Amino acid sequence: MTDNFKEQLQQAHERGDYASLLHLIPYAKLIGVECSRLGDELLFRLPANKDNIGNPLLPAIHGGVIAGFMELAAALHLLIFTGSPGVPKIIDFSLDYLRAGQFRDTYAKCQVCRQGRRVANVAITAWQSTQTEPIATARAHFKIEEAPSP
């Protein structure tokens, strides 16, 4: 991880604004991911964007965009809350699509289910109208970098 990224992460923590971090991730910029902090939680938002549509007849968001959005949300959640010195690396990702993602804003929240010294498990829920009606749920396992020993 570059010193610039570390500086950006520190500044993002201080301001509670993670937009600058998202701009360093090309895929996050491409699909338009946004992140806001609500107390001790992060809320991720994928704004409605015609470029993210996979089925123009419905129209519905492409399943790969939903998966990428959820995986990015989990990695950023871990990066922000674990104090990891580097971006967590994905080990495994399992996704359940529950309903079509309509052409509207999509939201996601993450919950760390278990965190060890080297591996963290994260549950991700994505929804559009209400959080109680998710469009997809996922489980992700990440390898996290250990902080360097003094």
Show the tokens assigned to 70. 């959820």
Domain spans in the chain, listed from the N-terminal domain onward: 3-143
Q: What per-residue confidence (pLDDT) applies to 109? A: 97
Residue 79's identity, in one-letter code, is L
CATH of domain 3-143: 3.10.129.10
pLDDT, tens digit (0-9, with 9 covering 90-100), for 90-122: 999 999 999 999 999 999 999 998 877 889 999
Q: Give whole-number Cα distances, 132 to 85, 99, 103, in Å.
A: 34, 13, 19
Cα distance between residue 145 and residue 15, in whole Å: 24
pLDDT tens for each residue of 2-15: 667 777 777 777 77
